[in-house]
Structure 1
Amino acid sequence: MIAQTGVSGSELNRATPILARLARLMRDCDMTLAEINPLARLEDGSFVALDAHMEMENEAKPRQGALLEELGIGEQDTREPYEPSEFERNVQAIDSADHRGVIQGKDHGFAGNLGLVIGAGGGSLTLFDAVRNQGGHPANYCEIGGNPSVAKACGLAKSNTRVDIVARGVIKACLELDRDPGETIAIFRIPGAWEEEGEKILRRYGVDYCDRSVSMWEAAGRAVARIQTAAASSSTAPGAAGSAEGS
């Protein structure tokens, strides 16, 4: 996998021990996720792990008691600074109910005016920056990946991906909530497979769709401008609800 990035020869040899230890960690410590991100290459060709994220199988915690004790983590410690909100519990339930695709949602208490449903973690962070740079304020963190089912995408909206599936999901969520998709979704931008089919669905409901020729920053600017215009034109509503889709 790392060879596909162009790393080869002596540099690949230097990276191999890190990858081997990561694989052993995943296998021996009952991890469901073991990720180094980012893995930095220094000027001398050596590598260093700048950050890592790990998740352990819940049922394995008693077996891994010694490791947890060494790390100062109790068996019931989730390492979260707060109890999950109702929104986060709903997202977890939706994700667990269907094995197809992955959805994540974090309620960080943002006082934002733009709801985000985003494909891929790196794109999530970039889109957050883009929205803030354009004068908008993200209201949440929701991420999807791996082609979730229509029902799964719909459930997330209510509480490299196939565009048509996500489009059907968010449209279905709006309709179930008695909301006009064209008025509720500020902008939709998810480059991926089946883009033409997804665009047809969105256009049918009057949703502003951006293809891959529109950058994330441009899409964020259009979404922010739309909710600002809607807020300015309405003196009775507390704010315009919107969903921005990004990759």
Structure 2
Amino acid sequence: MPYCTVCKQYADYEYDIDLSNGNHLHSSCLIKLQMRKDEIEAVLRRQNSQLILSLFAQTEVANGEAASQEEVRSLSSELTKLKNTLTSIYDFLPSWPPDWDERKRHLIQQNGSICSSCGEEADVYLVHEIPLCEYGTNELDNLELICKPCHESMHGPGDIFDSFTLNPSQSEFAPQVKEIQSAIKNNQKIRFDYKKPNAKTWMTRTVVPDRLFNIPNSRDSGQTLCVEGFCELRQDNRVFALERMQDLEVIDY
């Protein structure tokens, strides 16, 4: 029986978030953590603004305000713990995490804007070494900075950064790609049966598609054609490999 990694209560396989490290999470628990983090950050911003104003006005801090500094320290400590908890969750989300830009900034501060492929300084993008749909993670060790030319040389033009272009070797997926592109253009949903690796049964998914893209296979030099979109079952963005889909249909809202 799976349990939520936050509240330690029972988590439903079908309707809650299954993390890629085998843990599970209530969507409501994640939202509460995120809301509490935002709330504390707002309080601390107000405190900092008041402190700056008092310094410019050259006024002494009143006793009541001085006492509130204890609260500030307590909130700062709580915020640090919340960020660490959220980071440990985001590491294993089966989709791009909310702190994606922060992870990119961290790697740039650590290594500079250097492409991990050609070694040149460039306008770099953050990508996964092992793709999410092949059970890669969002951990920093699985992320790399890469420039657009190098990415296109590996995966073809129009991949991730621009409009999608179907590779000749993927012609078998042309009908599905056409339907998905139509759904994206016309603001429609797609419904299909999906089977995860090593799963015994197919599960029906309804998704609001956002984009098609190719990602490298970790097992060989080929590519995996995927669609990313909002999954109604998981109530979150998910990535699906077309090779694991069947009975695709476009439906209206």
TM-score bracket for this pair, using the shorter chain length: under 0.3
Q: Which has the larger radius of gyration?
A: 2
Identify, as 1 or 2, the structure richer in strand.
Answer: 2
TM-score with structure 2 length normalisation? Answer: 0.25
